[in-house]
Chain A
Amino acid sequence: MGVTGVVERLGVGIGWRPELDLSIARMRGVDWVEVVAENLHARHLPDSLVALRERGMPVLPHAVSLSLGGAEPLDTTRVEHLAEVARALDAPLASDHVCFVRAGGLDSGHLMPLPRTREALDVLVANVRTAQSIVDVPFALENIAAVLQWPDDELTEEQFLTELTERTGCLLIVDVANLYANARNIGTDPVAFLDGIPWERLAYVHVAGGVERDGVYHDTHAHPVRREVLDLLAELRRRTDPPGVLLERDDDYPTDSELTAELAALRTVVSA
């Protein structure tokens, strides 16, 4: 069960996108939002986001470019940007992913899996500690959707994440759509993952839609949430009462009523 005081109760939220700002302002059933930190400037926040803050709605920044699992030196200017955005939003928490995005001068533009080795964990731990020293709110890390695996994994994903939280004190964002994607694409066991996660470290949960193409499940955030993903959320709910659950929708934006229905479906599962 979530430990009171580690993470405040957030409720049901949605990923804030400029294309959704008017919908979010008028939809019922949105308790909080998450924003992509790289898309914001701390001194020039969008008016619609400032309006949500003025209504008292929590706005949590989520970074995608820190490359915390990258073995090259951490780009601390990116972490400082995240810290500034977190301060400007008076956010209770900031986050990024367990991944790398840059190496050898190249930018993948996407979240790349890490080898789950001791050495890679040491690198990640060192980078997370540096990030924590710059960001002045609790820091959380999210599991990603991977379509490939490194050949020399020594730890399961749940072991890797558990050690990460033990060594850094960071929190976790568990993305159940990514669990589903990994089960489909690389054959990992989502139930073993859920059994191995230190739930007292849970910040909140991500849920998103995707689509299957040519035998590969793509975590697109542009399609409806699948029943199987909601089932995994229910499986998670059997183990903990998550402080928050967030719907991510990044493209092919549906109507307000469709989004409201998806949010209501999440609320139903976590309220069970």
Chain B
Amino acid sequence: MSREELAARQAKLLENLLTGAAAPPGFDPERLRVEAGVLRGKRRRLVAYLRPDLPQALGPRFRSLFDAYAAEHPKTTEVRAHEYAAGFAAWLVSRGELPKPRRRRFRR
């Protein structure tokens, strides 16, 4: 296995875990499912930490809405963590899950 092949296999694994793409060959499907849940939970907790207003506004719906967002919008390397959280907030507004935010008065 060359470095290029390993890179491709690592990419396939993340694609499966983060987007639900086809499972890479040889992996235990149950373990993939568990790992995907671990990654989703880790990302969800980070988004809640960076934007505590979102779980506060959504209550118990935060989890299912975030998981739906994450499956469609896996975090890419181009996006910073706070931008990703902001993207989720914008998605919630676009779907009518959250009211359009008023301009923050003290924003610099």
Contacts and interface: CB of A to CB of B under 8 A. Distances in A.
A148 B14 contact: no
A120 B6 contact: yes
A251 B48 CA distance: 12
A148 B32 contact: yes
B14 A106 contact: yes
Main SS class of interface, A: mixed
Contacts, number: 92
A72 B2 CA distance: 12
A103 B27 contact: no
Given A105-B76, A119-B6, A112 B46 contact: no
A155 B49 CA distance: 38
Interface residues on B, range: 35 or more
Given A71-B4, A108-B17, A109-B43, A148 B31 contact: yes
B18 A103 contact: no
A201 interface: no
B4 A105 contact: no
A269 interface: no
A73 to B, nearest CB: 9
B10 interface: yes
B27 A71 contact: no
Contacts of B7: 70-72, 103-104
Which of B5, B6, B81 has the most CB atoms of chain A within a 10 A radius of its CB?
B6
B34 A216 contact: yes
Contacts of A48: none
Interface in B49-69: none
B42 A110 contact: yes
B3 A123 contact: yes
B1 interface: yes
A133 interface: no
Q: Which 8 A-B pairs have the closest CB atoms?
A: A104-B11, A151-B26, A71-B7, A103-B10, A148-B31, A71-B6, A103-B11, A106-B14
Interface of A: 70-72, 100, 102-110, 112, 115, 117, 119-120, 122-123, 147-152, 185-186, 216, 218, 251
16 contacts: A70-B7, A103-B11, A104-B7, A106-B11, A107-B75, A108-B39, A109-B39, A110-B39, A119-B3, A123-B3, A148-B28, A148-B35, A150-B26, A151-B26, A186-B31, A218-B38
